[in-house]
């Protein structure tokens, strides 16, 4: 009962925002953190999506586009993927456990070349095209994350300002 009420609440928030976005995961929509929430002195620039307390859940690109940036760090967003879309928006998927194989292979080659686990690279358009709803990785708990979840952001590609999804 409590679960279904929460579910309806989330659905209402998504629908009442006037813009309905595809959901980036296959599991039911539950948020553990919301946009604009004050987080130790800074505003949380995205939404935290619960992943049933575990890692390895499929994460999908909500729209067609191309990987524009890949960041791997032991801190912050951990394994993070930035995808640019033809509508001028960028979606960000963070704290991933791993990327899908073609992206992972690209990352490995860069890590080898730079001799570093941590990388932050801008990926040329056409290198890693992404279909709508394609699985781009698996959810995780990488970087500065206090438990398994997917951190999702919607940004304006030009300004990189975060939009409220
Ligand atoms: Zn977050």
**Exposed, middle or buried by CB within 10 Å (0-12, 13-18, 19+), for 8?**
exposed
Inside any domain, residue 10: no
Distance from Cα 113 to the centre of ligand 1, integer Å: 30
Q: How far is the CA of 30 from the centre of ligand 1 (A)?
A: 13
85-129, pLDDT tens digit by residue?
999 999 999 999 999 999 999 999 999 999 999 999 999 999 999
What is the model's pTM? Answer: 0.84
Residue 81 lies in a domain: yes
Q: What's the gap in Å between 82 CA and the centre of ligand 1?
A: 14
Range of the domain at 64: 19-163
pLDDT in tens, 7-42: 554 544 444 445 678 899 998 888 887 877 766 555
In a domain, 23, yes or no: yes
CA of 162 relative to ligand 1 center, distance in Å:
13
């Amino acid at each position: 009962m409590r679960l279904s009420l929460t579910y309806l609440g989330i659905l209402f928030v998504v629908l009442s925002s006037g813009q309905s976005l595809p959901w980036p995961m296959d599991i039911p929509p539950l948020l553990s953190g919301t946009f604009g929430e004050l987080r130790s002195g800074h505003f949380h620039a995205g939404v935290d999506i619960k992943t049933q307390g575990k890692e390895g859940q499929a994460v999908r690109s909500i729209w067609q586009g191309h990987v524009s940036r890949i960041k791997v760090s032991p801190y912050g967003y951990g394994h993070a993927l930035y995808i640019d879309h033809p509508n001028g928006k960028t979606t960000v998927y963070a704290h991933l456990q791993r990327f899908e194989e073609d992206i992972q292979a690209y990352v490995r080659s860069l890590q080898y070349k730079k001799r570093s686990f941590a990388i932050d690279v801008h990926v040329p358009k056409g290198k890693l095209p992404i279909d709508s709803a394609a699985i781009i990785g698996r959810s995780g708990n990488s970087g500065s994350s206090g438990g398994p979840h997917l951190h999702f952001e919607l940004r304006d590609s030009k300004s990189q300002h975060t939009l409220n999804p």
